[in-house]
């Protein structure tokens, strides 16, 4: 597994904690790093996601909301974290190919989400990618960032 992939996994766990506890990221980060094995993790990327996603929370959620069939707050906390990370990457990390973002978010949903969560994440992320990247993005289409 790549250090970036591991950074996303760690970011998901940190953002899950942030969402459930309403703690400030500055409180979560030191204890998170103490508890978790930080080997083979892109720490710079982890820190970026841990800082930027909470800072852009309202903007990210308003981007996601038109693509879901219920209120954002009614989503499972794991799904909320995954969608925030994926939307952040699609909007602000044009260096990450669309296909990579989609695959990574689906993989996170398979590992951390409920049994069928990955199907929901796949559908929402595919629509978001189409809207945010303006390119064909089916999982097998090889969509590229612009």
Amino acid 25: pLDDT: 80
Profile the chain (146 residues) by mean pLDDT over runs of 10 residues.
Answer: 86 92 80 65 89 96 96 96 98 95 97 94 96 62 38
Map residue 126 onto helix, strand or coil: helix
Q: How far apart (Å, rounded) are the C-alpha atoms in residues 109 and 124?
A: 12
Confidence (pLDDT) at 34? 58
Would you state the pLDDT for residue 76? 95
Q: Map out the domains of the chain with their CATH numbers.
A: 3-133 (1.10.940.10)
pTM of the complete model: 0.86
* CB-based contact 49:105 (threshold 8 Å): no
What is residue 142's predicted lDDT score, i.e. its pLDDT?
40
| 3-state DSSP of 57-115 | HHHHHHHHHHHCCCCHHHCCHHHHHHHHHHHHHHHHCCCCCHHHHHHHHHHHHHHHCCC
Question: Which pLDDT score is estimated for 37?
Answer: 63
Q: How many C-alpha atoms does 130 have within 13 Å on its Cβ side? A: 13
Q: What does the pLDDT read at residue 81?
A: 97
DSSP state of 135: S
Confidence at residue 6, expressed as pLDDT on a 0 to 100 scale: 87
């Amino acid at each position: 597994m790549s250090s970036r992939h591991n950074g996303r996994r760690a970011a998901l766990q940190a953002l899950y904690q942030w969402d459930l506890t309403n703690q400030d990221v500055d409180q979560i980060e030191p204890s998170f790093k103490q508890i978790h094995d930080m080997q083979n993790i892109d720490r710079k990327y982890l820190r970026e996601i841990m800082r930027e996603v909470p800072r852009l929370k309202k903007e990210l959620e308003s981007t996601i909301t038109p693509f879901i069939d219920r209120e954002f707050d009614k989503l499972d906390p794991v799904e909320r974290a995954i969608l925030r990370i994926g939307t952040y990457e699609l909007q602000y990390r044009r260096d990450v190919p669309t296909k990579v973002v989609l695959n990574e978010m689906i993989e996170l949903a398979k590992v951390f989400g409920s049994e069928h969560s990955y199907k929901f994440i796949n559908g929402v992320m595919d629509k978001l990618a189409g809207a945010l990247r303006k390119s064909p993005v089916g999982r097998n289409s090889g969509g590229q960032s612009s």
